[in-house]
Every structure is written in structure tokens, then in C-alpha cells.
Amino acid sequence: MQSKQSEMQSQQAMNAMKNVNTSVFALAAGLVFGLGLILSGMGNPAKVQNFLDIWGLWDPSLGLVMGGAIAMGLPAFAWAKARAARKQAALLGEPMQLPDNTRIDKRLLTGSALFGVGWGLAGFCPGPALMNLSTLQPEVWLFVAAMLLGMALQYLWDKHRG
């Protein structure tokens, strides 16, 4: 009885430590992402809007940031895909969770178009919008509220469709 209880406490302690490790790595990844947004100027909506204004104050730097992200992301995703194919866990021990749907359909194209239009009009996508909440600008808070409402409506729509 004592041994079983001790074993259970040991397992709980290991799970708690795993959760702490995961949280620390998630925090570090978020900080690196946020620092990248700040250093590249991508937290500034005018940067995005100027990239899209090819006949005005065109700023090609967003294209360079995107190219850099793709150059870093492609090998990382290829490595993750190879690990998943070999049934290996993620680096923190969690099971790999890669999408299995590779179909380009109406739903994907519609979502992409809505994202692109919103990004172009507002100059924000979710990451920089959340980062800019700290500026306390009402426009940012309105954007994030509308973004969250859109996410909730999409969730309900999917749930309703079954």
C-alpha cells in the first residue's frame, strides 16, 4: 500500500516537472517570436500596409522576413515530419501532432482569403495584434475582439455543421 502511494506521488511529481518544462519552453518560444516581431518591425501595421502598397510607399522588408521564415521553417517541418513518420516523440516527449489533411478545398481558400484581406486592411495578424495589446490603443483592442469573435463564430459554425 505504502509503495503504491509512493509510486503514485512520484508519477505526479514527474508529470508536474514535465508540465513545467513544457511551459518554460513555450514561454521561451513565445519570447523569441515576440522579439523577432519587434526587431523586424512586423508589430507595426504600417509595415504590412506599406508592403502591399506597391505603387506608393512600398517597403519590401516584409518579403525578406517571410523569406527568412520560410527558409527556417521548411527544414524544421521536414525534420518534424520525418520524426513523426518514424513514430518518434516531439523533443519534449509529447506525441507528434502534424496535420494529416493536405487537401486544398473551398474552406481552406475561403479562410486564407479572409485572413489575407483582414491582414491587409488592418495590418495585423494574430501574433502582432496580441503583442500590440500592450500599447493600449483602442484600435488594437477592437481588432483583437473582432478576431476572437470571428474565431468563436468559426468554431460554432464547424460545430453546427458536424
pLDDT tens string 105-145: 998 999 999 999 988 888 888 889 998 998 999 999 999 99
- In a shared domain, residues 148 and 127: yes
Domain of residue 34 covers 1-39
Answer with the one of 100, 135, 151 that is the final residue of a domain: 100
**Same structural domain for residues 122 and 155?**
yes
> 63 — phi, psi (to 5°)?
-60, -40
pLDDT in tens, 11-23: 666 666 677 888 8
Buried-state track 132-144, b at ≥16 Cβ within 10 A, e below 16? beeeeeeebeebb
Q: pLDDT > 70: what percent of the chain?
A: 90
Helix segments in 86-137, DSSP class H: 106-122, 126-132
86 and 108 belong to one structural domain: no
Entry pTM: 0.69
